[in-house]
């Protein structure tokens, strides 16, 4: 494990139980059948029937197991946090899905499972915890089947650079371009339980759209679809409200001009 990623392992170990019990994750609803994967992601990954799927940075497995329930033949979730992997395994057991779901504790940047998958998926607040986007791209290429699909839905780096001032208007608060020195997330409230500030501060890195595409292309993948969206997967900015799907959060109409808050892309092996 990268020394830089060790701080993030401690952070996610700390917040996993908090997230499991939070209204944000609604585990009871999930156990009762709620799908935690948004409609855009479900459509992009389909068809899943008889497809194997690798979920990178899976946290405690809600999306991973949702994708299994949506028809994947087998799912493998990978996360750096031992606490998250234990919770994911426990959920799989409760749902009697352990025979088709594997959970692996590993640093994604160094992952080598020795197998390939029809689908690889990553989403929502994942890659900014990684210090080496090139290694991430190589891991995806290593594990993607020859005719497989890589799909990601992630926070837009421009949206991550923005904040809201006292009048409710957007302004750029943070750097957009990547810097090797990480940002220590000291004193930042937890996104799922906003009145809790984790003791273990994680480390974050900004990756631009160009960084992400270059990492995939350098690894031998071709990006063949790219989309941007004016909504987020959580209340990324003050005043945002969830839509009926509960998968996406929108800024109110009076908040001013739209800005990209999410992006998605699809990639496959270069022919």
**Model pLDDT, residue 2:** 64
Q: Which one has a higher pLDDT value, 213 or 2?
A: 213
Class of domain 3-156+182-230+262-269: alpha beta
**Model pLDDT, residue 3:** 73
**Model pLDDT, residue 244:** 84
**Average predicted confidence (pLDDT) for the chain:** 95
Residues 179 and 204: beta-carbon distance below 8 Å: no
Q: What is the mean pLDDT of residues 198-211?
A: 95
pLDDT digits (tens, 9 = 90+) for 239-267: 889 998 889 999 988 888 889 999 999 99
Checking if the pLDDT of 1 tops 70, the result is no
pLDDT digits (tens, 9 = 90+) for 70-93: 999 999 999 999 999 999 999 999
User: What long-range pairs does 85-92 form, CB within 8 A, spacing at least 24?
Assistant: 85/60, 87/16, 87/17, 87/20, 87/60, 87/61, 88/58, 88/59, 88/60, 88/61, 88/64, 89/61, 91/27, 91/30, 91/31, 91/60, 91/61, 91/62, 91/65, 92/61, 92/65
Q: What is the mean pLDDT of residues 149-172?
A: 92
The position carrying tokens 């799927």 is: 53
| Whole-prediction pTM | 0.95
**Model pLDDT, residue 198:** 94
Q: Which helix (H) or strand (E) holds 203?
A: strand 203-204
**Model pLDDT, residue 165:** 86
Residues 201 and 186: beta-carbon distance below 8 Å: yes
CA atoms within 13 A on the CB side of 20: 18
Cα dihedral 10→11→16→22 (10° resolution): 160
CA–centroid distance for 98 within its chain: 22
């Amino acid at each position: 494990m990268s020394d830089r990623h060790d701080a993030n392992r401690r952070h996610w170990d700390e917040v996993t139980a908090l997230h499991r019990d939070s209204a944000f994750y609604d585990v009871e609803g999930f156990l009762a059948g709620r799908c935690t994967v948004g409609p855009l992601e479900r459509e992009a990954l389909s068809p899943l029937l008889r497809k194997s799927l690798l979920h990178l940075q899976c946290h405690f497995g809600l999306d991973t197991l949702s994708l299994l329930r949506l028809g994947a033949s087998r799912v493998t979730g990978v996360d750096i946090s031992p606490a998250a992997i234990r919770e994911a395994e426990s959920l799989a057991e409760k749902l009697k899905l352990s025979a088709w779901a594997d959970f692996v504790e590993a640093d994604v940047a160094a992952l080598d499972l020795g197998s390939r998958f029809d689908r690889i998926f990553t989403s929502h607040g994942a890659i900014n915890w990684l210090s080496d986007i090139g290694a991430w791209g190589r891991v995806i290429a290593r594990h993607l089947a020859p005719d497989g699909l890589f799909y990601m839905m992630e926070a837009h780096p421009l949206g991550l650079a923005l904040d809201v001032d006292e009048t409710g208007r957007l302004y750029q608060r943070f750097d957009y371009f990547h810097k090797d020195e990480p940002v220590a997330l000291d004193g930042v409230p937890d996104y799922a339980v906003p009145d809790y500030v984790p003791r273990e501060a994680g480390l974050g890195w900004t990756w631009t759209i160009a960084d992400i595409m270059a990492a995939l292309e350098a690894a031998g993948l071709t990006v063949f679809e790219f989309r941007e969206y004016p909504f987020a997967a959580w209340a990324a900015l003050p005043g945002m409200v969830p839509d009926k799907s509960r998968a996406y959060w929108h800024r109110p109409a009076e908040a001013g001009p739209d800005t990209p808050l999410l992006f998605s892309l699809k990639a496959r092996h270069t022919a």
